[in-house]
Amino acid sequence: MEKIDRRNFIKTIVGFGIAVGSSLSSMAHKSSSLDASRIVIVKHPEAVSGMSLNSRIVRKTVNEGVMSYTGQKSVADAYASILTPFSLDDIVTIKVNCINSQLPTHIEVVDAVVEGLISAGVKDSNIIIWDRTNHELIKCGYRYNISKSGVRCFGTDQKGWGYDKQARIANQNVRLSKILTSSDHIINIPVLKDHGTAGVTLSMKNHYGSVDNPGSLHGDQCNPYIPELNNVPEIRDKTRLIVLDGFLGIYTGGPGGTPQFAYNGVIIGQDPVAVDYQGWSIIDSERRKRGQIMPQPKHIVTSAKIGIGVNDPGNIQVETVEIKGGPAV
């Protein structure tokens, strides 16, 4: 995978900003018909070669997924329909997962999302790519940027940020990242990974990187800590889209270690329980191929019970798109 600082970060989108600046404002009051318990899976058989991603195919895959999910015919309109209501001063943050530098949220996926946001009229300087620490982001190849120019990228440990609002999660007190609380819109881009305690680490557990003391939230297979964390208003009410990066995955021994299989796709939705149920199903399928059987993670079941989303496959509408052909976008 090419490092972002080696290839002129999102250079393909430089020309978009001014020309499409009105896209979001023109759609700001358009009603959305999105179904929160519907997910779209988009796969391309040539997205992954070895452990490397083809950036053009990844962009095509992500774009097709967002358009299919929203029912829009252009990438700009797709993102505009997600970010409603919207003002030009709104901050859009992208929560990535960089705890495992051998399998972080792929930069190619983030590039595609950022390009889509800018094409819809979001100011590049109002986009923040973030995780827990600057060190983790930089180690995973992200370009650190705290300037007022361009897409910003930094960790919660950046000077002047840190943690502020306290939240009571079951029997534990944690503080929420100021990046999270300063967000107007959150796009969650987790990775397809096993987790030795929680069973899987997908969109909901990705927010363990949004609090100051995630270690206190690991009892009883992270249940009910993951559900209660994802039920705080700062996460529940601000999350606009989940793009589960499933190009590569880990089915056992996670969350650390090298990738173990290629799924070659993304899972897109707005219901974190439905997305995580589907992600768990993909990991479970890989386990079963190897004679491993593990139950549905407790936190997914509990999250459905408290109303965060749906884990009943009979009530989740899944649309699968198989893309073939070259990487042209």
What backbone phi and psi angles, to 5 degrees, belong to 57?
-70, -40
Distance CA 72, CA 84 (A): 14
The pLDDT of residue 172 is above 70: yes
Q: pLDDT tens across 304-314, in order?
A: 999 999 999 99
CA atoms of 99 and 119, how far apart (whole Å)? 30
25 within some domain? no
243 inside domain: yes
Q: What is the number of structural domains in the chain? A: 1
In a domain, 37, yes or no: yes
Domain containing 141 equals 32-322
Q: Percentage of the chain with pLDDT > 70?
A: 88
Q: For 36-51, what is each residue's pLDDT tens digit?
A: 699 999 999 999 998 8
Rounded-to-integer distance, Cα 142 and Cα 150, Å = 14
Task: Look at residues 273, 252, 262, 247 and name the one whose alpha carbon lies nearest to residue 195.
Answer: 252
Of residues 72 and 30, more confidently modeled: 72
Question: Does residue 8 lie in a domain region?
Answer: no
Residue type, 41: I
328 lies in some domain: no
Residue 59 lies in a domain: yes
pTM (2 d.p.): 0.90
Confidence of residue 326 (pLDDT cuts 50, 70, 90): low
Separation CA 19–CA 119 (nearest Å): 8
The pLDDT, as a whole number, for residue 311 is 97
User: Tell me, what's the pLDDT at 35?
Assistant: 65
**Per-chain mean pLDDT for the chain:** 90
Sorting pLDDT into bands at 50, 70 and 90, what band is 242? very high
Domain contains 296: yes
pLDDT above 70 for 220:
yes
Task: Give me the mean pLDDT over the 167-176 stretch.
Answer: 97
How many residues appear in the chain? 329
Residue 309 lies inside a defined structural domain of this protein: yes
Q: Provide the CATH number for the domain around residue 303.
A: 3.40.50.11440
**How many Å separate Cα 215 from the centre of its chain?**
21
